[in-house]
Amino acid sequence: MSCRRDLAASLAFFAVGIGVCVGAGRLGFGSVHAPEPGFFPWLGGLTLVGLSACLFVQALRGRSSVTAPKGEWLGPGLLLGALILYVPCLEPLGYPVTTAALCVVVLRVLKTRRWSVTLGASVALALSTYLLFRRVLGIELPPGVFWF
């Protein structure tokens, strides 16, 4: 399992490294005498390709340094999904509404037992931070459907 994770990671880094090398080529390498904007990215991309190849070989040989235990994916997945949905909704719906909805998801994912606590805390947190940061600290959080 750990080696499979390393294999996947090495392939991802390899792809990034190749992409950077190709992008650097379009920018132009120049020469050692007169390096152009692509010179340093090309070095970085090439280094990443080399390192990911070493990682790939290490993973193929069954040697992995992964120490993180295999955990439950549902909670982080739900939370990440909520955060991804939060981003496009933030400006049209406004900070208070979207943040209250996000808090509900987070508190439920973290197994807050009572719905009354979840809903009350979510609304209170969203409104209090909105008022604190917008009104007191002057941070322009999007009001959305709120007029204040």
Binding site for other proteins (CB under 8 A): 2, 5-6, 9, 13, 16-17, 20, 23, 27, 31-41, 44-45, 47-48, 51-52, 54-55, 58, 64-69, 71-73, 75-76, 79-80, 83-84, 86-88, 90-91, 95, 99, 102-103, 106-107, 109-112, 121-122, 125, 129, 133, 137, 139-142
The answer to whether residues 102 and 68 touch, using CB atoms and an 8 Å cutoff, is no
How far is the C-alpha of 80 from the C-alpha of 59, rounded, in Å?
28
Smallest distance, other proteins to C-beta of residue 125, A: 6
Smallest distance, other proteins to C-beta of residue 87, A: 4
**Cα separation values, 80 from 47, 49, 83, 109, 116, Å:** 31, 29, 5, 11, 24
Dmax over CA atoms of the chain, in Å, equals 69
Is 97 or 102 the residue whose CB approaches other proteins more closely? 102
DSSP state of 61: T
Smallest distance, other proteins to C-beta of residue 52, A: 7
Smallest distance, other proteins to C-beta of residue 63, A: 9
Is 78 or 147 the residue whose CB approaches other proteins more closely? 78
The answer to whether residues 59 and 3 touch, using CB atoms and an 8 Å cutoff, is yes
How far is the C-alpha of 97 from the C-alpha of 94, rounded, in Å?
6
Is 34 or 147 the residue whose CB approaches other proteins more closely? 34
Is 32 or 148 the residue whose CB approaches other proteins more closely? 32
How far is the C-alpha of 72 from the C-alpha of 55, rounded, in Å?
26
